[in-house]
Chains A and B, each alone.
Chain A
Amino acid sequence: MMDFFKLGVLLLCVAGFAMKSVAADDQFFEQEVAPILQQRCLSCHNENESKGDFSLHSAARALEDDYIVAGDAAGSHLLQVVTPDDGKAEMPKDGSPLTAEQIAVLTKWIDQGADWPTDFVLTEAVVSDFDWWSYRPLQSVAVPTFDDPESRFWVKTPVDAFVLRQLQQRGLTASPPADRRTLIRRLSYDLIGLPPTPAEVQAFCESDDPAAYEKLVDRLLESKHYGERWARHWLDVVKYADTCGYDKDKLRHNAWPYRDYVIRSLNQDKPYGQFIQEQIAGDALFPGQPDGIIGLGFLAAGPWDFIGHVEVSEAKIDGKVARNLDRDDMVCNTINTFCSITIQCARCHNHKFDPITQEHYYSLQSVFAAVDRAERAYDLDPQIEQQRRDLEAQLAKLTKQQKQLEADIKSLGGNRLQELTTTVASLQSQQAVQKGVQFGYHSTITNNQNTEKWVEVVLPAPQTVGKIVLRPCHDDYADIGSGFGFPIRYRVEVTSDETDHETTQWLMVTNRSESDQPNPALGPVVLTCDSLPHPVRRIRVTATRLAERRNDYIFAISELQAYQDSDAAIDSHEGNLAQGAKVRSFDSIQAAPRWGRKNLVDGHWPSAGDSDVQQALAEAIAERDQLLAKIETKARVAKRDQLKAAIKNARENRDKLPRGKMVYAAATHFKAQGNFKPTNGTPRPIHVLLRGDVQQQGTPVAPGVLPFSSTDPWQYNDLPDEAARRVAVAQWLTHEDHPLVWRSIVNRIWQYHFGKGIVETPNDFGRMGAEPTHPLLLDYLARYFLEHGQSMKSLHRMIVTSNTYQQSSAHREAMAQQDQSNRYLWRMNRRRLSAEEIRDSIFVASGSLNRSMGGPGYYLFALEKTAHSPHYEYHKFDPADKTTHRRSIYRFIARSQPDPWMTTLDCADSSQSTPRRNETLTALQALSLLNNRFNLYMAQQMAKKVASDASDLPSQVDLAYLQIAQRQPDLESRQEMIAYAREHGLANLCRYLFNFSEFVYLD
């Protein structure tokens, strides 16, 4: 495992006890006493956190107060607080009391002198035993062979050999094969999630081709519907949904490209390693390829707390909690999905059963420390992507030259230029100010300078605007004076729309948000904008970096003026279109009379007064400009202009490139929304959080992965670049020696075929999970998978062509006596169709299925009140809406308000990884299948179709039954159905057909 870590590593720190020579008394402490203290007391009384000012970290700390009085257990406070009275003890505070035996040990230890070796320290318990089946390397396994002809005849694929060996060892025998109609039905649902057509059933049942079954398997694996069926399994595991969940449950309009990506990847039989890499670091590993970006939808698939990110800043506790939980979701999704290991508990404490420490866990958080969930573009045209990269490179080069030039000028100006700059600033601040009681508009106060805030003026009607003027404020608060609250970075935009809606377009008047701007003091900031294509309804100033007040930050402007004519006199109220207009803002302190929104357009702003100061200021500015002119030789000016033009040109060209389509995915660059801001690729610093508490930061951690042995290197101490971190993890996951990843995926695939995995806990191969029933088979399949192009389709083929898979599902009492739950596969498992299969089959039966693939999800609800908290009103849905008559994988999944019909039928909860669905039976399920308006409508559609496809009632009934059961009914049932349909009509019959056990169960 060592060689594939390209970068420096740290050795695993085996926490626990520092070793030393051991005397007999010490042994008693180390072996008997220390484990009790460590397990029951240490989580609150340790080196970092010593509640009640009591720590059990070392002898010195433990014995410094009178908690432990050596030689006097009865007089030791420790014993008093842990000894239960009436079943309850004061300590441990958050757990059951110590047992009598444990108390006896402590008593003995204290009475005997409380001997605690001086260099022996207690740290949180760590599981250091790596000896566990799933951590061991994949074995090379020979396929069992058989001598007797009967066994040799039955063994068709290696799967059979392993299964038969286990059956024989347990005195079990395999079941005969299922009949052909059962087989084609089983296989069709299993591989494509749809029933076979009556014609397909007939052809297969009547075929005398010995390879008919294998040909059927090939046909189904090549079907486009294969990806639609198997992507659903994957999306269950990764928690895919089309809304964010949490409060408001906002829509994700562009989550679906990831769903389509999974379908496409499975249909293409993409090697699993590539599939993993695209989902963790596709942007870095496959540049220019859309799937490399769309695959990152994986990291963004889970829930996201809108309020915790957008409304609460990262500087606040609640903001930190939201972001910690967000990274937790990414870490757990990655490790649960690909490694089948539970890691979630290590957010708060070392894993109690598996060798995973908090440090390992936070190292994984560090891998995702720069990414958030947001929309990002993926261009479909590689040429455009190339152009974009070229332009970005060119821009970087030009900007560097520009910086160099400015630096040269500054150094050539020497001390005098420095002095003049200071003088100008000082004089500006001395200007005697004339101002009224109305200061202007003032935002609320924030602790984060980079909070985005805006204020806007709504003109009474759309107008041509040629000039906009911003007037700075003056306030003596914190001795700031002129230019109080004027943003350091900002942009000014206009739009023709009175309110925001989806098509609202903002036109940029000026963008000063890319570099810090000098404070204008009390000078007007004049922006001409006479080339605007539309009349203007709203003018918005957005501060992107706020002005400092006193250790906090605000945004304030005294006045905003707007004139039609770019030459208009700005000190005149005449022609000021903004005067008295409506003002809106992100927020406002509204402290009348000084501060208020309406003060922004009240015609009052502060102006500088004292003429001496004005004079001195003018002279200083003149001298400064002269000096600059000298330094700025013609050549330099030309160079500067040239650079400026080239930068502008490159930017324009870049911005003109088509932006491609958007996908909701892991992203480092995106448009900020409130407090939700991109990291722009700079990883957030990650610390171990004691007890998972964001207010208890421990040591900082470098990015890392999980070790598989005590000597396995696991941390990258030299990876500042965020993408490189994800690349390292992607490569770690897809290394062929990884003991978990390959076992994990073949077990998942096996489980979906048989209903139960070789390991019954598909998301947990740790000590709390199940152990494999067929460990050799698991390793054989994992190796086979690795050696055959990591092809899922090859694996499917091996499994479904086995005789094991083709067995009948019939009960055999003698076998059941020994292996009741069919762990060893002496028969096939009967299963109920999933919610999606039932819904899709109802479409097929009623002739309504539209088989078109992909695209945005369709709504199975009426969508209302989207502006604030969307309402997903399922009871207002119209089942006749043809746009919804498509396969269920394409429905729009609302995370907090899931579809009741689907949920009743055990559809996955998209807030939790669902590696295997429940299969429950409830009265509500019966009501759903009987009375849901979808069922009622589709029954009518089916009746219409059957009535037009067959002439007389008996043959109509036969046809209807064939649609749901893929066979002829038995005589008794047939007569009952005909009689019922005669009395109550075909639609009523079809309604009940959807409720037949024969329809919803697969033998």
Chain B
Amino acid sequence: MYRREFLKRMLSNAAGAGAIGPGLVSQGLVGQGFGGLALASMLHDDTSAATGGVLSSPHHPAKAKRVVQLFMAGAASHLDLWDHKPMLEKYHGQDSDFGEPVEAFQNGLGPWMKSPFKFAAYGQSGKMISDVVAPLGECVDDIAFVHNMVGKTGVHSQATYLQATGFQRPGFPGMGSWISYALGSENQNLPTFVVLPDHRGFASNGPKNWGAAFLPASAQGTAIFPQRDNPIEDLTPKADYVTSAADEAGLEMLQRINQRFTQQRPGDSRLQARIRSYEMAAAMQMSAPEALDLSGEPAHIMKLYGLDRAGATYPKEINPAEETEYFGRKCLIARRLLERGVRFVQIWSGNDNGFPRRNWDSHENIQRDHGPLASGMAVGAAALIKDLKQRGMLEDTIVLWTTEFGRMPSSQGGVGRDHNPYVFTNWLCGGGFKGGTSYGPSDQWGYKPLERDRPTQVYDIHASILHQLGIDHTKLTVRHDGIDRRLTDVHGHVINDIIA
């Protein structure tokens, strides 16, 4: 409790000294700033806490305020989850014929292979989805499926970069970084952009998928590991000699001495901003543990997210119950963060390509690996959607389900599927997207878009999400090494057909 009081005192002290307030904002430009971009970054950092991001007003009225991105690492199969293909059931086991030469990543041109999972129709829209994602059946009327996504490569790393950052090579900011940079946070006591990695390990490219790259460090995704001592890196001191009294008195001393240093150096707004950053840090120390603490959630909510088996133990083999617990916990934490004003939450399902597989790269066996992963994901995702909806948050929260590419309609000789960068599925929910729609069908096999020259690309998804957030994707630019960089590079169209 001491922290809360301390913080209150500190904030009032600082305000009394005229340290915080609108005055600081305008001073951001004065003083020892370095011109150009760096100045802009500093200005951003000075002001983000108070006003949000660089976008002082939206380009057009926003329909959504925040985003949660569910990223299935390893390439989740559209054919076994959302994109029902009766032709594969009919021609199962027969030699595949794509009508053209196909380059497979491995040896994925075996016979046609139907999904090992049954499909059924759900909702008013009658959307056919597979048994392993049945929990999402109750949500399909809120979901807009995009079935004609195309990528550029079947290499995991490049494809993951492409979906996460809009570029297929390292060095570019993630979508969450761009959005944080543009809009800032609604809660200065929590990071603007939070990432919940798969606890078993990072997906391809690791933290570079959510790095700020050339944007200010404040736009970077902050990874939270709820199971660790310090769920946010360095949130609290772990040393015997640091007591709460030493911490409290130390921070007060620090602020006073830094304030004196600052007063002797007028005209340098950075020094004041630095003092303020310690206030924000203290506030984050209080807010973050509270946001991550699920103990106050009622039983029916825990059950909704599949978290009603406290203390359960799990077998070594991949299994639905364990996957449900992992993914559900991240989804519930995401909801709590979104509720508290976090702008962008990214949840990862699946780690790197180690063995045994704990990601969606089911070359060997769709049923064995996609089954449990999808069941767990569907319970968590459905709970998140329903929970946001019952709190009235779904209308201004965008949920994006994505992956790096799809999987082939043919087998690899066994019961697994090879990479298919030629078509895959994304879906969007909430935030003004039109539920109950299925946009841009794939062809009869699920091999390529039905209309090959009218595919959807990641740029279009990004442009549409920015659009709903009140951002014109062509106008959110940052000059870096002589190039005006955008999340959507030189591409992107808002997909009007899936916007309500």
A residues near B, CB below 8 A?
A: 94-96, 245-249, 303, 305, 307-308, 312, 316-318, 321-322, 325, 336, 342, 344-345, 444-445, 589-590, 755-756, 760-761, 763-764, 766, 768-770, 809-811, 813, 816, 820-823, 829-830, 832, 865, 868-869, 871, 874-875, 895-898, 900-901, 903-904, 906, 909, 911-913, 915-916, 918-928, 930-933, 936-937, 940, 970, 972-973, 976-977, 980, 983-985, 987-989, 991-992, 995-998, 1001, 1003
Asked if residues B202 and A318 are in contact (CB atoms below 8 Å), the reply is no
B residues near A, CB below 8 A?
A: 29-36, 38-39, 41-42, 45-46, 103, 105, 107, 152-158, 160, 168-171, 188, 191, 201-202, 204-208, 211, 213-214, 216-218, 220, 222, 225, 228, 230, 232-239, 241-243, 245-246, 249-251, 253-254, 256-258, 260-262, 265-268, 270-271, 273-275, 277-278, 280-281, 283-285, 352-355, 413, 474, 479, 481-484, 490-491, 493
Asked if residues B281 and A316 are in contact (CB atoms below 8 Å), the reply is no
Q: How far is A532 from B39 in the complex, measured between Cα atoms in Å? A: 69
Asked if residues A980 and B234 are in contact (CB atoms below 8 Å), the reply is no
Asked if residues B273 and A921 are in contact (CB atoms below 8 Å), the reply is yes
Q: How far is A835 from B280 in the complex, measured between Cα atoms in Å? A: 21
Pick the 8 closest A-B CB pairs, nearest first. A811-B267, A764-B482, A247-B157, A911-B170, A912-B171, A869-B352, A926-B281, A923-B280
Q: How far is A307 from B157 in the complex, measured between Cα atoms in Å? A: 8
User: Among A316, A901, A911, A937, which residue has its beta carbon within 8 angstroms of that of B103?
Assistant: A316
Q: What residues of chain B lie closer than 8 Å to A318, measured between beta carbons?
A: 103, 105, 153-155
Task: With both chains docked as a complex, state the minimum distance between the C-beta of B411 and any C-beta of chain A, in angstroms.
Answer: 13
Q: How far is A720 from B250 in the complex, measured between Cα atoms in Å? A: 68
Task: With both chains docked as a complex, state the minimum distance between the C-beta of B354 and any C-beta of chain A, in angstroms.
Answer: 5
Known: A832-B270, A871-B201. A811 touches B234 (CB 8 A): no
Which residue of B has the minimal Cβ distance to A308? Answer: B155
Asked if residues A321 and B234 are in contact (CB atoms below 8 Å), the reply is no
Q: What residues of chain A lie closer than 8 Å to B284, measured between beta carbons?
A: 923, 927
User: Among A821, A928, A989, which residue has its beta carbon within 8 angstroms of that of B234?
Assistant: A928
Task: With both chains docked as a complex, state the minimum distance between the C-beta of A899 and any C-beta of chain B, in angstroms.
Answer: 10
Asked if residues A766 and B482 are in contact (CB atoms below 8 Å), the reply is yes
Q: What residues of chain A lie closer than 8 Å to B201, measured between beta carbons?
A: 865, 869, 871
Known: A906-B217, A930-B237. A919 touches B34 (CB 8 A): yes
Known: A895-B170, A926-B277, A926-B281. A985 touches B246 (CB 8 A): yes
5 contacts between A and B (CB under 8 A): A318-B103, A761-B36, A811-B32, A813-B267, A919-B34
User: Among A247, A342, A904, which residue has its beta carbon within 8 angstroms of that of B481?
Assistant: A342
Asked if residues B41 and A920 are in contact (CB atoms below 8 Å), the reply is yes
Q: What residues of chain B lie closer than 8 Å to A984, measured between beta carbons?
A: 243, 245-246, 249-250
Q: How far is A983 from B249 in the complex, measured between Cα atoms in Å? A: 10
Which residue of B has the minimal Cβ distance to A754? Answer: B34
Task: With both chains docked as a complex, state the minimum distance between the C-beta of B455 and any C-beta of chain A, in angstroms.
Answer: 12
Task: With both chains docked as a complex, state the minimum distance between the C-beta of B198 and any C-beta of chain A, in angstroms.
Answer: 12
Known: A822-B32, A928-B234, A931-B237. A303 touches B246 (CB 8 A): no
Q: How far is A768 from B485 in the complex, measured between Cα atoms in Å? A: 12
Q: How far is A318 from B211 in the complex, measured between Cα atoms in Å? A: 25
Q: How far is A909 from B215 in the complex, measured between Cα atoms in Å? A: 11
Asked if residues B253 and A936 are in contact (CB atoms below 8 Å), the reply is no
Asked if residues B481 and A998 are in contact (CB atoms below 8 Å), the reply is no
Asked if residues B267 and A916 are in contact (CB atoms below 8 Å), the reply is no
Total A-B Cβ pairs within 8 A: 302
Asked if residues B36 and A248 are in contact (CB atoms below 8 Å), the reply is no
Which residue of B has the minimal Cβ distance to A328? Answer: B169
Task: With both chains docked as a complex, state the minimum distance between the C-beta of A763 and any C-beta of chain B, in angstroms.
Answer: 5
Asked if residues A761 and B481 are in contact (CB atoms below 8 Å), the reply is yes
Q: What residues of chain B lie closer than 8 Å to A897, measured between beta carbons?
A: 202, 206-208
Which residue of B has the minimal Cβ distance to A444? Answer: B107
Known: A94-B490, A821-B33, A868-B354. A992 touches B260 (CB 8 A): no
Task: With both chains docked as a complex, state the minimum distance between the C-beta of B307 and any C-beta of chain A, in angstroms.
Answer: 25
Known: A444-B107, A927-B284. A980 touches B155 (CB 8 A): no
Asked if residues A920 and B262 are in contact (CB atoms below 8 Å), the reply is no
Q: How far is A373 from B234 in the complex, measured between Cα atoms in Å? A: 37
Q: What residues of chain B lie closer than 8 Å to A972, measured between beta carbons?
A: 260
Asked if residues A769 and B267 are in contact (CB atoms below 8 Å), the reply is no
Q: What residues of chain A lie closer than 8 Å to B169, measured between beta carbons?
A: 303, 325, 911
Which residue of B has the minimal Cβ distance to A822? Answer: B32
Task: With both chains docked as a complex, state the minimum distance between the C-beta of B287 and any C-beta of chain A, in angstroms.
Answer: 10
Asked if residues A303 and B265 are in contact (CB atoms below 8 Å), the reply is no
User: Among A810, A921, A936, A992, which residue has its beta carbon within 8 angstroms of that of B277?
Assistant: A921
Asked if residues A246 and B490 are in contact (CB atoms below 8 Å), the reply is no
Beyond A768-B483, A811-B268, 15 additional pairs, beta carbon < 8 A: A245-B170, A246-B158, A305-B155, A318-B155, A445-B107, A763-B482, A811-B267, A869-B352, A871-B202, A896-B202, A897-B202, A911-B169, A996-B258, A997-B262, A1001-B271
